[in-house]
Chain A
Amino acid sequence: MTARKALQEARLILIGIPVALWTLVPIYHMFLFALSSKDDAFSGRLWPAHPTLNNFRIVFEEKHYFLNHFWRQLGNSLVIAIAVGVITLAIAAAAAFAISRLKARGGRLLMNCALFTYFIPAAFLAVPMYKAMGVYGILNTQWALILAMITLASPYAIWVLKQASDKLPFELDEAARIDGASPLQLFRLVYVPLMVPSLVAIGTYALLLAWNEYLYAFLLLSNDKDITLAVALGHFLSADDSPWEILMATGLVYALPPAAIYYVFRRYMVSGLTAGAVKA
């Protein structure tokens, strides 16, 4: 029996090791470069001969021409992500409340419109969106990116929030109505407090989507002072002799906040975001 258990465990470890390597090697490689001088980085060593934090110093002091506006661009990423998170949350919570709780006329139709948008591949919508932003005269402003990301984030947000709302007992609404509550009071005093876990998951989802976005950001923004850090990272590719060790240090700084947020809200994220999918 124990021999059989040990064999079973050994088989699991044989699966676990390749899975761990596959997952972690590209991320480890990023760390490795971020901690290496140029010579060490290009030496093919698995650990730098002289680990250094110099790359981070260069990044934080904006000491490279690719990084002249590093702090500004980090701030842009942050402001845009927060704006998208907050506005998407407001739009989606209002829509989900109207569709699910108020049974608003046209709610079903709008839900289908949202689902349809959700199923348009993002790179295909990017081209018409770019042209439309030009027509609206907001191309190359941060509002263009914020509005585009709200458009991309809200369909899924509405769908998940509607699924979650449908599960709340309708007696609450009835009781509130009989007590003479207005729709806004119902929304503020009953609906929002009960929906907090889903709202946290969706706000985080929209925020991360905007922070991580590359394609829309590089299409809709062009001025060095307006772009997000994602676009700035892409600029490193424009030179043949790019400083890859500095690129990786910047990339690490850029990747840490979303990873940290994800792990802090992991409980909410996993249940909130997979619940909808599993139901289907």
Chain B
Amino acid sequence: MSTIALPQSEPTVPTGPARKGMTTWQRWGLVLLAPYAAVFVVFVVYPVVYGLWLARHPQSYVNLVNDPIFFGSVVNTLIFLVVAINLKMAVALALSGFFVRANAWIRWLSVLFILPWAVPSIPTILSLRFMLNPEWGIVNQTIFKLTGADGPNWLNDRWLALSMAMAVHVWKSLPFWTMILIAGRLSIPAEHYEAAGVDGARTLQKFRYITWPALRGLYLTSLILSMIWTLGDFNSVYLLTGGGPADLTHVLATLGIRYLRLDQVDLSMATIVCALPLVLPLVYFMMKRLSK
């Protein structure tokens, strides 16, 4: 990694003082690592071990599986992961191609496009929540004005409400992933496209043979990382539907917190333990990819 370092210089320094110096430097290394090591032990290791200890009783899992909400939450979580994330990443990939164009107005649009990511979730998701209010929301009132018919009761039907929660999730995180893929596209040398253009390649062929091979690794990493983060996405569901109607739109993240609020900590931790078979392979994949 340190290609420009001076590897020869160390042996030329007299051994005595150098050795003494080395220990001071190493000691300082440990001192500077200590604050994060402390944070990690106190606020990650201990809580995780304590949490797993709270989830040690087999009875907790029996109770969890017997709770009808649990199965629905697992299904919702899987739908969320498969549908929302793939849709989001595919749209982000397409939009990154749109935003790398040099037009001035597209640059201005890209500045505005970041807004959903740059502003906090709560006010915007609550704004969306009221937009979807069946009687007073602007969506159904507009539908009524245009067609004379009543719009759907957006948040009162399980699948419609879950779709809206996924839409909120996409709305919030699409700008971030688009930005990542834009950065990826900008690192592809322009000469590749020029050469392909000279050879008469069409837009789709350019994508197929230049863009996709260059972005594939980044796309996959982004997809996995997005899955991990989406598993922990509490806001999109909780602030939009609150898990309703009748607790039918919970995902594992909101279900865990729901049990915690009901003082059923063992169920809460059991929910999280049940999500681990989903999380750990993804985490393992990302660790392998990023810690070189």
Contacts and interface: CB of A to CB of B under 8 A. Distances in A.
Interface of A: 9, 12, 15-16, 19-20, 22-27, 29-30, 32-33, 42-44, 46, 90-92, 94-95, 97-99, 102-108, 110-117, 119-132, 135-136, 147-148, 150-151, 154, 158-159, 166, 169-171, 174, 177-178, 182-184, 187, 211-212, 214-215, 219, 230, 233-234, 236-237, 244, 247-248, 250-252, 254-255, 258-259, 262-263, 266, 270, 274-275, 277-278, 280
B30 to A, nearest CB: 6
Contact of B4 (A107, A169, A278): A169
Given A104-B29, A233-B122, A170 B47 contact: no
Interface residues of B, number: 103
A258 B119 contact: yes
* Most B C-beta atoms less than 10 A away, residue of A99, A120, A254: A120
Interface string B106-123: 100101111110111111
Given A44-B142, A280-B290, A214 B121 contact: yes
Contacts of B30: 98, 104-106
B172 to A, nearest CB: 10
B272 interface: yes
B109 A215 contact: no
A170 B33 contact: no
Contacts of B238: 215
B35 A91 contact: yes
A105 B228 CA distance: 30
Given A102-B26, A105-B26, A278-B183, 4 more contacts: A23-B116, A98-B32, A123-B231, A124-B256
Contacts of A90: 35
Nearest to B230: A121
Interface stretch (B95-103, B154-162, B189-197, B204-212): B95-103
Contacts of B179: 270, 274
B138 to A, nearest CB: 6
A280 B288 CA distance: 11
B283 interface: yes
A95 to B, nearest CB: 4
A119 to B, nearest CB: 4
B163 interface: no
25 contacts: A12-B101, A23-B115, A26-B128, A92-B36, A98-B28, A110-B36, A116-B287, A119-B283, A121-B233, A128-B48, A151-B43, A154-B36, A170-B6, A177-B21, A178-B9, A183-B25, A211-B120, A237-B242, A251-B122, A259-B115, A259-B118, A270-B183, A277-B222, A278-B218, A280-B289
Nearest to A280: B221
Contacts of A105: 26, 29-30
Nearest to A13: B105
A233 B130 CA distance: 14
B184 A278 contact: yes
A121 B228 contact: yes
Given A92-B36, A114-B40, A215-B234, A23 B112 contact: yes
Nearest to A95: B36
A263 B110 CA distance: 12
B36 A131 contact: no
Given A126-B257, A219-B260, A91 B36 contact: yes
B59 interface: no
